[in-house]
Amino acid sequence: MTNEEVNFEQELLNIQSTWDQSQSREEREGIEDGDYKLVVKSMELRKSPKTGDIQVRTVFEMLPAPGEPNFLARTIPPKWDNLSDPDRAGYFKDMLNAMGLEYPEKIVDIIPVLEQAKDRIVWATIRNVFTNNRHYINIYVNSLCEE
């Protein structure tokens, strides 16, 4: 049977449970708690399929600390900020301020601010949280990197 004859959709469905149980290197090894230099790769609006809440998905890439010449840049799990919850939206405003960005008075004006975040280099604290048999990585942006 050639690749053209294989029904890959069905074959993939057959191995879904294996896929669900697998872990990437980052998931197996994790990222140690600590302070890191990160670059913002993207920041975009998403709608939660479960709740319908509007969220911001921020993707960071870890950069080497001084004295780490053989460091391999790593994309870390995305940070999700819920804009539909007043407390969580407040934390998101704090993050924008820490990045040196001004949040808009009207939320409909947020998209240009999200675009301005791209390629900003920031100092952030990463904390691993284990709760309800789940592992989460919390990312707290502390400041814009002035180097």
Task: Give me the pLDDT at residue 29, please.
Answer: 55
Task: Report CA torsion sign: 45, 77, 89, 105.
Answer: negative
Quick count: other Cβ atoms within 10 Å of Cβ 53?
14
62 contacts 76 by C-beta, under 8 angstroms: yes
Q: What is the pLDDT of residues 88-113, one digit of tens each?
A: 999 999 999 999 999 999 999 999 99
Task: Give me the pLDDT at residue 132, please.
Answer: 84
* Distance, CA of 119 to CA of 38 (rounded, Å): 9
Task: Give me the pLDDT at residue 60, please.
Answer: 94
* Statement: the pTM of the whole predicted model exceeds 0.85: no
Task: Report CA torsion sign: 110, 48, 92, 118.
Answer: negative
Write the CB contacts of 76 (distance below 8 Å, at least 6 apart in sequence): 26, 31, 38, 60, 61, 62, 126, 137, 139
Task: Give me the pLDDT at residue 16, please.
Answer: 80
Which two three-digit tokens encode residue 17? 């449970």
Profile the chain (147 residues) by mean pLDDT over runs of 10 residues: 66 77 59 90 93 94 74 77 93 96 94 96 93 87 89
Task: Give me the pLDDT at residue 26, please.
Answer: 55
Which two three-digit tokens encode residue 108? 């409909």
Task: Give me the pLDDT at residue 21, please.
Answer: 67
Which two three-digit tokens encode residue 117? 């975040």
